[in-house]
Amino acid sequence: MEMQQEPNGETTDIREPRLWQLNGWTAKVVKNEEDDGWAVAMTQAGKSEPALVGPWTMGRDKKNPKPLDAAAFNTLVKTASEVIRRAEQHLHATLHRQFEVETDKGRITVMLDIEPDEDNPSATLSAQDAAGEELARIKVSPGFVLNRSSALRWIEADFAKPR
């Protein structure tokens, strides 16, 4: 679902009963293929897939969808933005792990940063002391599991590459 653009590159605001396009978002009410109801798809400008698809309310005639309005559109934008934010947080948490470990050398923070790549994924394991000074940095398998135990083992092995 692409935003309509004017010749000067600006996007056109649309406020129709089943299609709203405003502030970088498009809401489109469509027939729900799985039942007799309706659904609304929220797509952010420049994205090919909707960020949010959900049921939409029937109108008073119990046959056609309720028309989109400003309040509904604003709620849909807020909800779709939250879905995107949560997905980004989940991806970040999956790709970047961190543990603080107390050792006889003081507090050490161990981090695993995974670089996803379809052809050649990689990962970097690193350690910093309490002052933020880097103690070690090595490449590891993207399948490396970082937890408190593996962090402590790596520190105790003087940051040798884990097997």
Is there a contact between 59 and 73 (Cβ–Cβ < 8 Å)? no
Res. 8 pLDDT band, cuts 50 70 90: low
Is there a contact between 68 and 30 (Cβ–Cβ < 8 Å)? no
Cα separation values, 135 from 100, 102, 109, 131, 138, Å: 14, 15, 10, 11, 11
> What is the CB neighbour count within 10 angstroms for residue 51?
19
Is there a contact between 129 and 100 (Cβ–Cβ < 8 Å)? no
- Distance between CA atoms of residues 30 and 32, nearest Å: 6
Q: In what order do the strands lie in the sheet with 14-15?
A: 14-15, 19-22, 25-31, 38-44, 52-56
pLDDT digits (tens, 9 = 90+) for 74-119: 999 999 999 999 999 999 998 999 999 999 889 999 999 999 888 9
> For residue 138, what are the contacts with CB-CB under 8 A and spacing of at least 6?
124, 125, 126, 159, 161
Decide if pLDDT at 3 tops 60: no
- Name which of 142, 73, 137 is nearest 110 in CA terms: 137
Mean pLDDT for 128-143 is 95
* The pLDDT of residue 12: 80
* The pLDDT of residue 154: 96
The per-residue pLDDT of the chain, averaged, comes to 91
- Residue 84 burial by Cβ neighbours in a 10 Å radius (0-12, 13-18, 19+): middle
Tokens 């790596």 belong to which residue?
A: 154
What one-character DSSP code corresponds to residue 13? Answer: P
pLDDT digits (tens, 9 = 90+) for 57-71: 998 998 899 999 999
What's the start-to-end Cα distance of the chain, in Å? 47
